[in-house]
Amino acid sequence: MPAKNIKKLYIDGGYYHIFNRGVDKKTIFPDDDHYRVFLSSLKQILLPPEKIKLPFHTVTVQGRTLHGISHKRKNYHGKIELLAYCLMPNHFHLLVHQTTSRIIDQFMQSLSIRYSLFFNKTHKRTGPVFQNIYKAINVMEEPYLLHLSRYIHRNPLKYTKDLKRAYSSYSEHLGLRKTEWVKSEVVLSFFEPAKLPFLKHTNTYKSFVEYENDELDQYVDSSLTLEDDTLL
């Protein structure tokens, strides 16, 4: 069962469902540019450092023009793996695997600060962008992890019937898009023959996610409930 998020349970090698929403439930992704900036921040944090291209800046100081590259920011490649994600207008979901205990705190602080700086500058405002500190639920059972990936990828059905067009990792899990910093193979590995008995009712990830009959959940475990149903 997932651990309650009242007190975060940090485990080396643990899997976590991370989510947060805009302050006062306000929109945090009002247009495509905002979605892309958040995803760009994830990319900068998760890609191997040697593959990150730092922007080149020109600055004039006392009449002298100086050229340089931005300083390197914190990077969590090899420390955090992103298995799945979904961005919604007023909240987001991340499914991650941490290799070191409590590295999630640093990862989320870096991600939140980057996006908040952009959001506040763009909207000429100050103050927090997100409701509170993020929630992190430890996932300790394989069926729950798989069910969680389905839940995350189905979230955009509230806004679109075409899940492939959503700001999520669903296209990576269908093999339609390759993104180095999204580790879709972790979830897809469950579809190996006889990996999980209940998957005999569906043989592809696409059918597992898009199957409309809620009875599918009984094969996962109807007692496993998600704890963020009040995000909207």
- Helices 103-123 and 32-46 sit at what angle, rounded to 10 degrees? 150
pTM assigned to the model: 0.84
Closest-CA residue to 91 (of 14, 177, 168) = 168
Instruction: For residue 160, give the amino acid letter.
Output: T
Q: State the average pLDDT for the chain.
A: 83
pLDDT of 113 strictly over 50: yes
Give the span between the Cα atoms of 218 and 143, in whole angstroms: 11
**Spatial separation of the C-alpha atoms in residues 163 and 155, rounded to whole Å:** 9
Tally the residues of the chain. Answer: 232
pLDDT value of residue 214: 59
pLDDT higher than threshold 60 for residue 127: yes
CATH number for the region 15-55+69-219 comes to 3.30.70.1290
Structure confidence at residue 5 (pLDDT): 42
pLDDT tens figures, 187-208: 999 887 656 766 766 778 998 8
Q: Tokens for 156, please give them.
A: 């955009």
219: closest CA among 194, 193, 201, 207?
201
Please write the tens of the pLDDT for every residue from 19-35.
999 999 999 999 999 99
How far is residue 211's CA from residue 190's CA, in Å, rounded to a whole number?
17
DSSP assignments along 15-75, one per residue: EEEEEEEBGGG--S--SHHHHHHHHHHHHHHHS-GGG--PPEEEEEETTEEEEEEPPPPP-
Judge contact between 181 and 51, C-beta under 8 A: no
Q: State the Cα–Cα distance between residues 66 and 38, nearest whole angstrom.
A: 29
Band (pLDDT 50/70/90 cuts) for residue 57 is: very low
17 burial (CB, 10 Å; 0-12 / 13-18 / 19+) is: buried
Proportion of the chain above pLDDT 70, given as a percent: 75
Q: d(Cα 28, Cα 87) in Å, to the nearest integer?
A: 10
Cβ 27 vs Cβ 125: under 8 Å = no
pLDDT for 96: 97
2: Cβ contacts below 8 Å, ≥ 6 apart: 17, 137, 138, 139, 140, 144, 224, 227
pLDDT, tens digit (0-9, with 9 covering 90-100), for 133-184: 899 999 988 888 988 999 999 999 989 999 999 999 999 999 999 999 999 9
